[in-house]
């Protein structure tokens, strides 16, 4: 149960979800619309913009060797063409904090949020988007890319395609929220990433990725560049309507980006559960009856990760980095089981020849889970919402043990964690 030498072991975050005070972003505007699609505002989040040093120290002390974070465009280019040197310097310090603790920095250039000015002009549905994104990547990469271990252009580039139908239903159900959102953005709600699915989205998104990759490569030819994709295990009932629906879905939501990924250095795979296709020809994330369900309403399905990696590898033959995999739960014992089972499916895929270079858990800290607010707990480390105190969960310790040993044989005894299943701090000496 050992992993290949040099295997990457990390935890992921995204700027808007934990830095705090990202008020110049489109997402912040949507959070404050009345009524809003968002359960609550992101507010101070985890104050990670100030606390990144301590948070990276915790990650390193656990035994992880990579930190995936995102660079916030809304901070780096607050108005068109006006770049903020202090914002760029901040991310330089984040990168330095990683290297000073032997942690590889993996940066994502777009993780869901845009500056307000970009979205006001139509955002993802504006034909100027790819060039604007590329210009920001060019500047940010010029300052930062040389020191990165790897770079991701766009997080879950295919998510708008996969959310398409769901978002149509959500919009139809809440016309009042749509109206408030459009007033807050000064643009159609489809300008925002999560609502951007359309016939023409893939064309703009693909171009944005290619231009961004070229900009990062120009600044730092040695740094591996890829995008990340939301890839779930897909399973269809054994009837033709269901099988056909699954083929059509994969053709629309995965195939265009798999094609692009063939030119990249790696593909970031992000998996949370399984998508089922029924005889009615519809895709559904609804868990089968009797299945264990996570706080997100997803089916508990850790082995979906191995299945998604196999699918991506078969289609692309591009090396894979698992850039996100995780579970939202209050029960840290279920998180430990989920991690072990997900890693087991990764190890089995590697044994079958799938080229997987690393595993990055989503997420380091309990944080702002987009429209669901702060309720879902994905973190390896808890955060007290009032005091910002961090509490290392047993699952974090277990993952660190596996990472240090580079083997699933480590941290195997649940008895080791029996005293701290409540998620209380287990005293690594770095926890404030
Ligand atoms: C993914 C996102 C990430 C996080 C997880 C739970 O789709 O990339 O930001 O919200 O889901």
Mutate which of 362, 366, 367 for ligand 1? The one with the most ligand atoms within 8 Å of its CB, which is 362
Cα-to-centroid distance, 360 and ligand 1 (Å): 12
Task: Name the residue ranges covered by the structural domains of the chain.
Answer: 8-426
Cis amide prior to 157 (ω within 30 degrees): no
* DSSP structure class, residue 424: -
Cα-to-centroid distance, 270 and ligand 1 (Å): 8
* CB-neighbour burial class of residue 204 (10 A; exposed 0-12, middle 13-18, buried 19+): buried
Cα-to-centroid distance, 369 and ligand 1 (Å): 7
Ligand 1 atom closest to Cα of residue 369: 10
Strand 66-70 vs strand 8-12: parallel, antiparallel, or unpaired? parallel
d(CA 180, CA 70) in angstroms, rounded, equals: 28
Mutate which of 108, 166, 193, 369 for ligand 1? The one with the most ligand atoms within 8 Å of its CB, which is 369
Give pLDDT, residue 416.
62
Mutate which of 39, 322, 324 for ligand 1? The one with the most ligand atoms within 8 Å of its CB, which is 324
Give phi and psi for 10, each to the nearest 5. Answer: -145, 180
Give pLDDT, residue 411.
77
Residues 264 and 213 sit within 8 Å (Cβ to Cβ)? yes
Class for the domain spanning 8-426: alpha beta
Cα-to-centroid distance, 238 and ligand 1 (Å): 31
**H-run or E-run covering 290:** none
Q: Residues lining ligand 1, judged by CB closer than 6 Å?
A: 14, 17, 155-156, 230, 270, 324, 362, 369-370, 378
Cα-to-centroid distance, 412 and ligand 1 (Å): 27
Residues 266 and 319 sit within 8 Å (Cβ to Cβ)? yes
In order, the DSSP letters of 98-119 are HHTTT-EEEEEEESS--BHHHH
Residues noted as catalytic? 156
Tokens 């044989």 appear where?
Answer: 409
Residues 335 and 395 sit within 8 Å (Cβ to Cβ)? yes
Strand 381-383 vs strand 356-362: parallel, antiparallel, or unpaired? unpaired
Give pLDDT, residue 415.
62
pLDDT in tens, the chain (432 residues): 899 999 999 999 999 999 999 999 999 999 999 999 999 999 999 999 999 999 999 999 999 999 999 999 999 999 999 999 999 999 999 999 999 999 999 999 999 999 999 999 999 999 999 999 999 999 999 999 999 999 999 999 999 999 998 999 999 999 999 999 999 999 999 999 999 999 999 999 999 999 999 999 999 999 999 999 999 999 999 999 999 999 999 999 999 999 999 999 999 999 999 999 999 988 888 899 999 999 999 999 999 999 999 999 999 999 999 999 999 999 999 999 999 999 999 999 999 999 999 999 999 999 999 999 999 999 999 999 999 999 999 999 999 999 999 999 997 777 666 544 444 444 444 433
Residue nearest atom 9 of ligand 1, based on CA coordinates:
14
Cα-to-centroid distance, 13 and ligand 1 (Å): 9
Give pLDDT, residue 429.
41
* Cβ partners under 8 Å of residue 152, min gap 6: 68, 106, 107, 108, 109, 225, 226, 227, 228, 268, 323
Q: How many CB atoms lie within 10 A of CB 42?
A: 27
Residues 155 and 110 sit within 8 Å (Cβ to Cβ)? yes
Cis amide prior to 35 (ω within 30 degrees): yes
Q: Which two three-digit tokens encode residue 198?
A: 């359309």
What are the CA-CA distances from residue 177 to residues 36, 119, 194, 235, 374 (Å)?
Answer: 5, 17, 14, 34, 20
Cα-to-centroid distance, 340 and ligand 1 (Å): 20
Residues 291 and 237 sit within 8 Å (Cβ to Cβ)? no
**H-run or E-run covering 9:** strand 8-12
């Amino acid at each position: 149960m050992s992993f290949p030498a040099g295997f990457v072991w990390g935890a992921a975050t995204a700027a808007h979800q934990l830095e705090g005070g990202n008020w110049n972003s489109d997402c912040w505007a949507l959070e404050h619309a009345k009524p809003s699609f968002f359960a609550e505002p992101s507010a101070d989040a985890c104050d990670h913009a100030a606390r990144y040093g301590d948070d990276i120290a915790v990650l390193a002390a656990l035994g992880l060797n990579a930190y995936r974070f995102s660079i916030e465009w809304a901070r780096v280019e607050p108005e068109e063409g006006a770049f903020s040197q202090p914002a760029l310097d901040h991310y330089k310090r984040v990168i330095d904090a990683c290297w000073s603790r032997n942690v590889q920095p993996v940066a994502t250039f777009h993780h869901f949020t845009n500056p307000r000015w970009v979205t006001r002009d139509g955002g993802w549905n504006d034909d100027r988007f790819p060039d604007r994104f590329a210009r920001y990547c060019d500047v940010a990469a010029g300052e930062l890319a040389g020191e990165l271990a790897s770079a991701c252009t766009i997080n879950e580039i295919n998510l708008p395609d996969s959310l398409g139908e769901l978002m149509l239903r959500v919009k139809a159900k809440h016309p009042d929220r749509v109206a408030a959102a459009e007033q807050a953005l000064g643009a159609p709600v489809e300008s925002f990433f999560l609502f951007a699915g359309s016939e023409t989205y893939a064309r703009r998104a693909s171009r944005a990725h290619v231009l961004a990759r070229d900009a990062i490569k120009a600044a730092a030819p040695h740094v591996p560049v890829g995008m990340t994709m939301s890839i779930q295990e897909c399973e269809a009932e054994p009837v033709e309507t269901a099988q056909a629906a699954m083929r059509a879905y994969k053709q629309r939501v995965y195939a265009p980006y798999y094609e692009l990924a063939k030119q990249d250095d790696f593909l970031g795979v992000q998996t949370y559960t399984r998508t089922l296709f029924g005889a009615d020809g519809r895709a559904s994330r609804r868990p089968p009856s009797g299945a264990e369900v996570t706080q997100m309403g997803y089916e508990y399905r850790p082995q979906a990760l191995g299945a998604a990696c196999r699918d991506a590898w078969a289609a692309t033959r591009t090396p894979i980095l698992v850039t996100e995999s995780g579970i939202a739960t209050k029960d840290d014992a279920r998180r430990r089981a989920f991690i072990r089972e997900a890693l087991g499916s990764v190890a089995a895929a590697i044994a079958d020849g799938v080229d997987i270079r690393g595993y990055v858990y989503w997420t380091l800290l309990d944080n702002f889970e987009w429209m669901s607010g702060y309720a879902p707990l994905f973190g390896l480390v808890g955060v007290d919402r009032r005091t910002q105190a961090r509490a290392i969960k047993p699952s974090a310790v277990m993952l660190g043990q596996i990472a240090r040993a580079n083997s699933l044989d480590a941290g195997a005894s649940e008895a080791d964690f029996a005293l701290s299943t409540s998620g209380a701090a287990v005293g690594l000496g770095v926890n404030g």
